[in-house]
């Protein structure tokens, strides 16, 4: 009798053993130096993101303005310079005047009682202030011709 062996049984056995070997080897994995150290000693400060808001903004010239901004309960009084150019969203009829803040002047900080306070703003605050000013000017179309 010529009986042909069923090759699917062999393929199934080889596939199952390969899968078991792969899973067991992947669970061993490589441990880096960072993963083997104790991460419970890492200090993570409990901080909240800053809250910005415009109290007043006035365009005083063709390329200058003054603003009063609320930053976490402090008042920032500042002057700024800006430039404008025409822009669009790529759709006909979506033309608008885009604004770029070119310079922030001296920032005077006051606390909640109106007393002068040392300037504590940093680079990220300045970026966020620029974005806040640009958004307010463009939204309210303060420089439209």
In a domain, 8, yes or no: no
In a domain, 15, yes or no: no
Burial 7-29 (b: 16+ CB within 10 A, else e): eeeeeeeeeeeeeeeeeeeeeee
Domain count across the chain? 1
pLDDT tens-digit map of 75-94: 999 999 999 999 988 999 88
> pTM for this structure?
0.66
> Given pLDDT bands bounded at 50, 70 and 90, which one contains residue 135?
very high
In a domain, 57, yes or no: yes
**What's the rounded Cα separation, in Å, for the pair 62 and 84?**
10
In a domain, 145, yes or no: no
Domain that holds residue 122: 52-139
């Amino acid at each position: 009798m010529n009986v042909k062996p069923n090759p699917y049984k062999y393929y199934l056995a080889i596939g199952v053993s390969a899968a078991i070997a792969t899973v067991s080897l992947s669970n061993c994995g490589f441990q880096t130096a960072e993963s083997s150290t104790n991460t419970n000693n890492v200090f993570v400060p409990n901080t909240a993101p800053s809250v910005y808001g415009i109290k007043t903004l006035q365009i005083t010239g063709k390329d200058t303005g003054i603003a009063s901004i609320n930053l976490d309960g402090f008042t920032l009084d500042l002057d700024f310079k800006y430039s404008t150019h025409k822009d669009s969203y790529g759709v006909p009829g979506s033309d608008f005047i885009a604004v770029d803040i070119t310079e922030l002047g001296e920032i005077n900080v006051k606390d909640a009682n109106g007393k002068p306070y040392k300037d504590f703003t940093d680079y990220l605050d300045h970026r966020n202030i620029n974005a806040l000013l640009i958004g307010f000017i463009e939204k309210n179309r303060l420089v439209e011709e």
